[in-house]
Amino acid sequence: MESNELNSPDFEIPPELQAQVAITSLDKIYNWGRSASVWPLMFGLACCAIEMICAAASRFDIARFGMEIMRPSPRQSDLMIISGTVTKKMIPIIVRLYNQMPEPKYVLAMGACASGGGPFKEGYNVVSGVDKFIPVDVYVPGCPPTPQALLKGLMKIQEKIKGEPIKTARWYQKGPDMAEIPVPMLGPDLIDPRKIPLITNGEKN
């Protein structure tokens, strides 16, 4: 059709085009703003935390990525960097912190211990990877990963954020809110409330 027809203000835009065009450029701006100012939760567990601090120090500045504001409060942060071994005594607290973070929230498992238990996997107090309880977005292997490796992991998080369209964002969907992850309890061993039927079924056997 003629281009001057398209330019007139009362041209009928077909319905399937109405939502599309506006949102792709809106997506870009929205995701650019979010990815350039991710605020990590100041949460160092073990040795990987020291490399995280070195990444925040002057040599491998993460302020260049917009992430220098490390908030101690989960209510004000976007990204939880699990840096260090996750133990059974600590996992209820990690799950509670994850529940308290507002959407949109991301989790980066830094190091071998947070990704899959690490060298301490056979220990009786160690959880084999934090993704047994909370959903993880990026895994950074290494023991400990050098600050440059962590920065690569943070760039992958930024890549992921930039690829998320608003239409399918889970925090804008209609319907019930995303359910909280139930907090595990400390009994004779760690009890995950989602697995209680599995435990009681075993008891009946």
Partner 1 sequence: MASPAPVQTLDLSARFPGVLSPDTRPGYSGWILDNSNLLKFATALRDELGYDYLSSVTAVDYLPEDKMEVVYHVYKTTGGAGVLFKIQIPRSDPMEVHSLVSIYPGAELQEREAWDLFGIKFTGHPDLRRILMWEGFSGHPMRKDWHEPYFEEEAKPLKSRWPDGKMIMAENKNRYGDNITYPDGFNPERQTFDPEKALYEALRTYQKDEVGLDTDHIIVNMGPQHPSTHGVFRIAVVLDGEKIVNLKPVMGYLHRNHEKIGERNTFIMNMPYTDRLDYLSSMSNNFGYALAVEKLMNVKPTERAEYIRVMMAEMTRIASHLMAIGALLNDLGAYFTPMLYALEERELLLDIFEAVSGSRMMCNYFRFGGVARDFPESALQKIKDIFFERLPRKIDEIDRFLSENEIIRSRGIGQGVLTAEDAIKYSAAGPLLRASGIPYDVRRAEPYSIYDRFEFDVVVRSNGDIYDRLMVRFDEIRQSIRIVQQAVKQLPEGPVMALKPMYQVRVPPGEAYGRVEGPKGELGFYIISNGKPTPWRYHVRAPSFINLTAFGPICIGQKVADVVAVLGSIDIVLGEVDR
Partner 2 sequence: MSDMYGKGILKGLSVSLKRFFETYVDDLSWLGKRYHTDKGIAHRGSKDARGIFTVQYPEEKIPVPEEFRFVPFLVYDEGPNGEKTLRCTSCGICAKVCPPQCIWIVRSTDPATGRPIPDPAKFFIDADICMNCGLCAEFCPFDAIKMDHDYELATFHRNVYDETRLSKSAQYYENIRPVNANREDAARAAKAASRTGQGE
156 touches partner 2 by CB under 8 A: yes
Which one of 59, 174, 175, 179 is in contact with partner 1 (CB under 8 A)?
59
- Asked whether the beta carbons of 94 and 181 are under 8 A apart, the reply is no
Task: Tell me the C-alpha distance between 60 and 196, whole Å.
Answer: 45
Judged by CB under 8 A, the chain residues 51 through 70 that form the site for partner 2 are: 58-61, 64
Tell me the three state secondary structure of residue 163. Answer: coil
Alpha helices in the chain (DSSP H): 3-7, 15-35, 47-56, 91-100, 111-116, 147-162, 196-204
At residue 107, φ and ψ (nearest 5 deg) are -130, 130
Q: Which residues pair with 191 in a beta bridge?
A: 185
130 touches partner 1 by CB under 8 A: no
As measured in angstroms, the least distance from the Cβ of 151 to partner 2 is: 5
As measured in angstroms, the least distance from the Cβ of 61 to partner 2 is: 5
Candidates 7-15, 32-40, 83-91, 103-111: pick the segment binding partner 1 (CB under 8 A). Answer: 83-91
121 touches partner 1 by CB under 8 A: yes
- Asked whether the beta carbons of 85 and 116 are under 8 A apart, the reply is no
Candidates 9-17, 77-85, 94-102, 141-149: pick the segment binding partner 2 (CB under 8 A). Answer: 141-149
Taking the least distance from each CB to partner 1, the nearer of 35 and 184 is: 184
Taking the least distance from each CB to partner 2, the nearer of 30 and 120 is: 120
Q: Which amino acid is at 43?
A: F
C-alpha separations of 34 from 65, 105, 159 in Å: 11, 11, 11
Which one of 83, 87, 115, 158 is in contact with partner 2 (CB under 8 A)?
115
Give the one entry of partner 1, partner 2, none that residue 138 binds, where binding means its C-beta sits below a cut-off of 5 to 8 angstroms depending on kind. partner 2
Strands 185-186, 138-140: pairing kind: unpaired
Alpha helices in 163-195 (DSSP H): none
Q: What is the binding site for partner 1 (CB under 8 A)? A: 42-47, 49-51, 53-54, 57-59, 72, 84-85, 87, 89-90, 93, 97, 116-117, 119-129, 132, 143-144, 146, 185-192, 195-196, 198-200, 202-203
